[in-house]
Amino acid sequence: MKATIWHNPKCGTSRKTLAILEETPGVEVTVIEYLKTPPSAEKLAQLYRDAGITPQRGLRLRGTDAQERGLPDADAATVLAAMEAEPILIERPLVETDKGVRLCRPQELVNEIL
């Protein structure tokens, strides 16, 4: 099975999720450090759609100015454009496998798609 993780190595939850992926037999992991290689707004829209969540649910509030900018109440296109322009606004980690996508907070949610 292939798994792609949009990862921030400074984030403990992201590191723990990556460890679960790496320790699961038969999983081939692709790691994308999304702060260095941000996903497009289109890719983010697809990930959130496949995860069954809104872009607003995938918005990182802690340590960002998202609240002050009104992003939690903005429309999806505005949120996705902000995330594409400033990837720090993307809540992490996002994991995609053939079985689906999860925003892995807590990290154990990754097991739902393994």
Find the catalytic residue in 1, 4, 11, 16.
11
Quote the CA–CA distance of 7 and 4 in Å, as a whole number: 9
How many Cβ atoms are within 10 Å of 28's Cβ, its own excluded?
Answer: 9
To the query of whether residue 104 is one of the catalytic residues in this protein, the response is no
Considering only CA atoms, give the Rg of the chain: 13
Cite the active site residues.
Answer: 11
